[in-house]
Amino acid sequence: MLTPVLQKYKRPSYGSDYSLKFAILTPMDKVASVAPSERFVLRVKPLVESVYGPLGIDVDGVCDRIQTLLAPHLSNAARDLNPIDRWSQDDVLLITYGDSILRSDQKESPLRTLHDFLSNYLRDVLTGVHILPFFPYSSDDGFAVIDYLQVNPELGDWKDVGRIAEQFDLMTDLVMNHVSSQSQWFQQFKQGQPPGCDYFIAIDPETDVSGVVRPRNTALLCPVETPDGTQHVWATFGHDQIDLNFANPDVLLEFIGIILHYLNTGTKLLRLDAIGYLWKTLGSPCIHLQETHTLIKLIREIVALVKPDASLVTETNVPNRENLSYFGNRNEAHLIYNFSLPPLVVNALLQERSDHLKTWMMSMPPAPLGCAYFNFTASHDGMGMRPTEGLLEAEEYETFLRCMKAFGGEISMRAQADGSESPYEVNISLFDAMKGTAQGEDEWQIPRFLCSQTIMMSLEGIPAFYIHSLLATSNDHEAVQRTGRKRSINRHQWNYDHLLAQLQTPDSAQSLVLRDLSRLIQLRRQQPAFHPNATQYTLHLQPALFGFWRQSIGRDQSIFSIHNLTPRPQVLNLRDINLIGIDPWFDLISDTVIPEGMYEFSLPPYQSAWITNKVQAKA
């Protein structure tokens, strides 16, 4: 009944890594303009062979089935995009749930209400929207998907999704690693019926799985009654989220069909949720395995055949070096989440110094051509702590956790191999995380918060703003009590009428933050030096300042992005950034000219400056 192919783990030999051999044999520039059928043979079939050939599976048969699925959807635009043209400084995204804003009269669907808000307040501010899972689900606020092809009727329908996709680049979640225990597939498994009976992984409960990397502290194996007796199925994220068995190519085929549906209903960015855990091999950590990377390459090739301008985004909340591996050899993710950024930015503002943030930034390689960092400081999840491993000293780490608790946050734990627990993420509204410093709360919350967002949107990559950052939403402790889930603290649902009232009150936090961030975002979008792949160099300034230099791809614009991390005025010595040249210099943010011969530039508490030699536009 069950066909999980869990082989003995063998540590990969990176000297003979398949992706590197593949790149040498069939480099991108040699196949970019070939016919889709030829490209399939050159680029897709070898990937299928790499994953399923060693398992003794009929690779030709699998490829024939994939080609049959793709045939009605193949794009006439077979040529790859110029990597530099895939995005620009104009790209800025919003992250939101479909029901983050609700009308009390419920006369329209939440997705329609979201569309109204986006059209009225953010149409000229943002270019893309990540609507978090909008499918029927059983738990985890959408990430335990019951049906991948339906819109949750409590949110709206595909027309509502399409309406947003017509105005904004749509990012859609592809939750591949696991499915809801209430899904049809898992119900079939429990009844011993095809096809679901072969879609999951069951192993002997006595198997040693202590080496499996866990993001949760629940038991890895979930007992389930089936016609063949009690089966223990793999559940990385909890017992309502059952892992799928991609060693069965039928599961891959199911998801190719789902991908095609998403692309054909307006998806421009495909977010691969928790993708690092996709492949399981007994005796391994079951994270970042070579088969997982190969399947990402396979998905990328399929997307390129159908919608060449669509992009893959991998979500891997892990230490930085592991995260960077998902760029592959320019043949995996187009975008990777910059998971180290949120805790390091928050820590810099808590400690009022830039050393760890600067050290990390100096270690970050430029994204490969055709790839970019997906920058964020807040999301629907908590602030991941694993990306700080090896970056924060023990005392600072403890201070960080202490401050987050003092500002109303919660700490979520994960299980270690030895049975102990360690912090996995901090659950807190980013706005409230900025209530103070390591010295305690103060009156600088809004300027400090705006500084954190300005740092984020200035860095190499594409910036993404969580809706509750744009709206200066505080911790929702009532939601935590109501749901029993710590992550609910940062998943507030605004009443639309109440939100509008706050936005129309000039001195409310919501009005101040949305107005100032909207101005900064619009200003940023006009500057070529903020192209996602524009040059970036870290500046060596006094610890109270964090600065870096961006230069446009055409080298016609430079921007020195400087940020005061403290509640005290700081003076920037302009000689430290070699501010010389025949062009006049301006601070875009304060809209001031820097006179020739001026050597000191004063930054008020938490003030940022974008000092440039060429003004492109003013918001």
Q: Can you list the domains of the chain with their CATH numbers?
A: 88-176+249-286+307-507 (3.20.20.80)
Give the mean model confidence (pLDDT) for residues 242-271. Answer: 98
In the predicted structure, residue 339 carries a pLDDT above the cut 50: yes
- Catalytic positions, please? 273
Which of 314-328, 544-558, 571-585 bottoms out in mean pLDDT, i.e. has the lowest? 571-585
273 is in an annotated binding site: yes
Q: Are 439 and 67 in contact (CB under 8 A)?
A: no
E strand map for 345-431: 372-375, 383-384, 410-415, 421-427
pLDDT at residue 79, rounded to an integer: 59
In the predicted structure, residue 21 carries a pLDDT above the cut 50: no
What are the φ and ψ backbone dihedral angles of 116, each rounded to 5 degrees?
Answer: -60, -45
Sign of the CA dihedral running 398, 401, 405, 411: negative
Report which of 344, 287, 333, 337 is spatially closest to residue 317, judged by C-alpha positions. Answer: 337
Average pLDDT score over the chain: 91
pLDDT at residue 387, rounded to an integer: 81
- What tokens does 148 get? 């991948």
**With bands split at pLDDT 50, 70 and 90, how would you rate the model's confidence at 32?**
low
CA distance 163 to 222: 40
pLDDT at residue 219, rounded to an integer: 93
Q: Which amino acid is at 179?
A: V
330 is in an annotated binding site: no
pLDDT at residue 457, rounded to an integer: 98
CA distance 253 to 178: 15
- Spell out the residues 6+ positions from residue 52 whose beta carbon is closer than 8 angstroms to its own: 59, 62, 249
**With bands split at pLDDT 50, 70 and 90, how would you rate the model's confidence at 599?**
confident
How far apart are the two ends of the chain, measured CA to CA in Å?
62
Give the mean model confidence (pLDDT) for residues 473-485. Answer: 96
CA distance 383 to 376: 10
293 is in an annotated binding site: no
In the predicted structure, residue 17 carries a pLDDT above the cut 60: no
Range list of H helices, 28-109: 28-31, 36-39, 45-52, 59-70
Burial 278-301 (b: 16+ CB within 10 A, else e): bbbbbbbebbbbbbbbbbbbbbbb
pLDDT at residue 15, rounded to an integer: 29
In the predicted structure, residue 211 carries a pLDDT above the cut 80: yes
For the chain, what percent of residues have pLDDT higher than 70?
Answer: 92
Q: Are 374 and 464 in contact (CB under 8 A)?
A: yes
CA distance 189 to 183: 10
Distance of CA 271 to the CA centre of its chain: 7
pLDDT at residue 531, rounded to an integer: 97
CA distance 194 to 1: 9
In the predicted structure, residue 2 carries a pLDDT above the cut 60: no
In the predicted structure, residue 215 carries a pLDDT above the cut 90: no
pLDDT at residue 20, rounded to an integer: 29
E strand map for 365-522: 372-375, 383-384, 410-415, 421-427, 436-437, 440-441, 462-466, 494-495
pLDDT at residue 12, rounded to an integer: 35
272 is in an annotated binding site: yes
pLDDT for 90-142, tens place per residue? 999 999 999 999 998 878 999 999 999 999 999 999 999 999 999 999 999 99
pLDDT at residue 60, rounded to an integer: 97
**With bands split at pLDDT 50, 70 and 90, how would you rate the model's confidence at 582?**
low
pLDDT for 432-477, tens place per residue? 999 999 999 999 999 999 999 999 999 999 999 999 999 999 999 9
380 is in an annotated binding site: yes
- What tokens does 211 get? 């080496």
Please report how many Cα atoms fall inside a 13 Å half-sphere around the Cα of residue 369, on the Cβ side: 8
- Spell out the residues 6+ positions from residue 326 whose beta carbon is closer than 8 angstroms to its own: 275, 276, 293, 296, 314, 316, 332, 333, 336
Q: Which amino acid is at 581?
A: G
Question: What is the value of pTM for the model shown?
Answer: 0.93
Report which of 501, 496, 493, 500 is spatially closest to residue 107, judged by C-alpha positions. Answer: 496
103 is in an annotated binding site: no
Range list of H helices, 485-586: 496-503, 509-524
- How many Cβ atoms from other residues are within 10 Å of residue 419's Cβ? 8
pLDDT at residue 565, rounded to an integer: 98
In the predicted structure, residue 209 carries a pLDDT above the cut 90: yes
pLDDT for 404-439, tens place per residue? 999 999 999 887 777 788 898 999 999 999 999 999
- What tokens does 574 get? 């302009």
pLDDT for 322-335, tens place per residue? 999 999 999 999 99
pLDDT for 47-103, tens place per residue? 999 999 999 999 999 999 999 999 999 876 555 678 888 999 999 999 999 999 999
For the chain, what percent of residues have pLDDT higher than 90?
Answer: 81
Select the more confidently predicted residue: 52 or 216: 52
